[in-house]
Amino acid sequence: MILQIPMELFFYLPKPVRRNLFNIDASTEKKIYARVLKIINNSINERFRMDAKERLSQFAIDCLPVEKVPTRNVSNPFRRWKRLRNQNTFELARKRVRMPDAELKRNFRTDTAYIVTGFQKQDVSTFVFYQGKRAIIKKLHEKEDDWYELIIHAYMSEVCRMYEHIHVPDIYFLQRNQENTETSLCMQYCRGLELLQYRGHSLVVALAHVLKALYFLQRDHHFMHRDLHSENVWFDESTYQVTFIDFGFSCINPYLRPHAFQKFDFGWFLPLEDSHSDKCTNRSLDACVLITSLAKYDPWCRDEVKKIKATMKREIQTSQNTAAKLQFQLPKRKTQYTSITKKDWKLGNELEGKGRYNTYWLYNMIEFPLEEWYPENVLRRILLELPLEEWWPIAQDWSTYFDQVMPHPMVRTNTNQIGMLQRVQSQTCQIQIGFKTIQVQTKDCQII
């Protein structure tokens, strides 16, 4: 069953996912179908759409199984490693590791999720074992919205299997608690580190690979994360794998419908008719949010934030989009972080001490895309910050288009020849020197 309407995304999930993960049988699918039709038939009435979408989410969440998978708190899940007293560290033969990859206790049941105590972060248990695999359990508390996060997560997990280096964690199970006040999302653990943990050269490499991944997801699926700060994307230096998590603010419009699949949000992303927010088409927002979240730790990102703010202010001042600019007027909304009523207004002037590089102000800017910060355009600039040896791993999987994206700087070889970089192929550079083209190993030439 495929619906040509804005909320059809659930029906594009594989049948085993719909039946087993979301616990939706054929009869319930028909009820969801009927609810969706009511929404599309009343699409002009925004209040009806919001209420109906919230009720649909609540209805679907209520279909999830209740505590089908038992959970158990444990202090030490390992057979041989000892946990140090009052610490989140384990020890074996004087070797100390925070989260060892080690043999689990033999009495662990495959039908139980084991949560290692002391590794909780707000509503997320970051050190969990389920069926012998490392996992994470996230608790969701907004039944009126959680359905949309879960569907986008499941959909992105499926479609990202087509990419070698882009990943969204598999969902192992979904379930409600007995009180029906929270939903548990148990998912695969992420490889690598959050971008927040990278610094210097490693951070620039990671950011370049994330920008490449964003380009693919925008091109192929018209996806926006819309909360892509440095803790919501991971990078594995050993495999170049990029992993996206936390889709509570996300939207996706893979079939370019008039309305994207997303929760109905009167707060962060105002649902203006025929808008970037409604259609999920602002291609610069995710890159801007990520760069801003990293600016505290990286000078290149700090310079970019200055340029983003200057460009964004000019865009707002010159824009004819009166409806979008109204959100910056008084009286101030709870989720409004910029006011433009004063003469010398600044972006983020309503953050009220939330931090210089807080990203919230950008969420109000969804109607003002900046082409200079489309992922491929940011990548073009950040490549100049990397040695040429790092270019080929980025170019892999899209070498033809990469040739169009890449800059063509002047380079110097180790034999002191100077020319213009034409192409990077494997570990070889093609350099134009006068009327001839030479090939040099990337390690033997550098940008000047």
What is the mean pLDDT of the segment spanning 244-263? 91
Q: How far is CA 287 from CA 209, 211, 212, 229, in A?
A: 12, 7, 11, 9
Query: What is the pLDDT, as a whole number, of residue 6?
Result: 42
Q: What is the pLDDT of residue 334?
A: 87
Rounded mean pLDDT of 103-112? 96
The pTM for the full model equals 0.94
Grade residue 356 by pLDDT with cuts at 50, 70 and 90. low
Residue 268: band (very low, low, confident or very high) from pLDDT cuts 50, 70, 90: confident
pLDDT at 267: 72
Which whole number is the average pLDDT over 241-269?
89
More confident residue, 330 or 100: 100
Residue-averaged pLDDT of the chain: 93
The percentage of the chain sitting over the pLDDT mark of 70, rounded to a whole number, equals 97
C-alpha span between 295 and 369 (Å, rounded): 20
What's the mean pLDDT in 130-152? Answer: 96
Look at residue 3 and tell me whether its pLDDT is greater than 80.
no
C-alpha distance from residue 326 to each of 266, 272, 303, 340 (Å): 14, 11, 29, 9
- Does the pLDDT at position 5 exceed 80? no
Query: What are the two backbone dihedrals, phi and then psi, of residue 370, each rounded to the nearest 5 degrees?
Result: -120, 110
Among 21-35, 89-103, 117-131, 393-407, the minimum mean pLDDT is found in 393-407
**pLDDT reading at 330 higher than 80:** no
DSSP secondary structure string for all residues of 345-407 = --TTTT--SS-TT-SHHHHTTTT---GGGSHHHHHHHHGGGS-GGGHHHHHTT-HHHHHHHS-
Neighbours of 439 (CB within 10 A): 11
Strands 113-116 and 71-74: parallel
pLDDT on residue 266: 67
Q: How far, in whole angstroms, is CA 384 from its chain's centroid? A: 24
83: confidence class by pLDDT, cuts 50, 70, 90: very high
At 186 the pLDDT is 98
Is pLDDT above 50 for 69? yes
Rounded to an integer, what distance in angstroms lies between the CA atom of residue 212 and that of residue 436?
Answer: 31
> What percent of the chain clears pLDDT 90, i.e. is strictly above it?
81
- pLDDT for residue 2 is more than 60: no
C-alpha to C-alpha distance for 335 and 247, rounded to whole angstroms? 19
| Confidence grade of residue 426 (pLDDT, cut at 50, 70, 90) | confident
Tokens of 333: 């909304």
For the residues 37-51, what does the mean pLDDT come to?
74
pLDDT the model gives residue 264? 76
pLDDT at position 44: 59
Q: What is the pLDDT of residues 178-213, one digit of tens each?
A: 998 999 999 999 999 999 999 999 999 999 999 999
Q: Which residue has the higher pLDDT, 327 or 411?
A: 411
Partners of 138 in beta bridges: 124, 185
- Determine the pLDDT at residue 89: 98
**Peptide linkage before 331 cis (omega within 30 of 0):** yes
159 near 202, Cβ under 8 Å?
A: no
How far apart are the two ends of the chain, measured CA to CA in Å? Answer: 57
Crossing angle of helices 46-61 and 143-159, rounded to 10°: 70
pLDDT value of residue 113:
98
Rounded CA-CA distance 284/276 in Å is: 11
Tokens read off for 132: 């012998």
* Section 226-232 average pLDDT: 97
